[in-house]
């Protein structure tokens, strides 16, 4: 499985941005898809996941929405009301089943290359 993330950019606080992650391979509908982010000097952290349900980190709940289009093999992350602390490289990730933790980096099998989101104040 190959993942290609896109949609990052430079925006101002309060703006919106939509990230996309296109996946190759079959059985996409059975994958758990996740978004993670990594700010400079910090560890990679969970943002959102789509599997049997949708899951969000507390820091983005109510502002970010993950959605999955199985027909297009694509997962999206709609980010609204962006804050400077959302600045990070955003990575999409995939796991071939719904088992394991949805928020743990080590429980995902495939990773995209990352897309940079910069939010200015």
pLDDT score recorded for residue 95: 92
pLDDT score recorded for residue 48: 98
Q: Which single residue is written with the structure tokens 């940079």?
A: 116
pLDDT digits (tens, 9 = 90+) for 39-77: 999 999 999 999 889 999 999 999 999 999 999 999 999
Question: Which two tokens mark 95?
Answer: 């796991």
pLDDT score recorded for residue 100: 85
21: which residues sit within 8 A by CB, 6+ positions away? 3, 4, 5, 6, 33, 35, 74, 75, 76, 77, 92, 112
Confidence of residue 98 (pLDDT cuts 50, 70, 90): confident
pLDDT digits (tens, 9 = 90+) for 23-33: 997 788 889 99
């Amino acid at each position: 499985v190959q993942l290609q993330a896109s949609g990052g950019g430079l925006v101002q606080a309060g703006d919106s941005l939509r990230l996309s992650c296109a996946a190759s391979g079959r059985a996409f509908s059975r994958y758990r898809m996740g978004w993670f982010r990594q700010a400079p000097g910090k560890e990679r952290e969970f943002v959102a996941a789509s599997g049997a349900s949708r899951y969000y980190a507390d820091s983005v709940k109510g502002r970010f929405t993950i959605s999955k289009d199985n027909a297009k093999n694509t997962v999206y992350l709609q980010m609204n009301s962006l804050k400077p602390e959302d600045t990070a490289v955003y990575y999409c990730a995939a796991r071939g089943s719904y088992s394991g933790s949805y928020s743990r980096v080590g429980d995902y099998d495939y990773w995209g290359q990352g897309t940079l989101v910069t939010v200015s104040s």
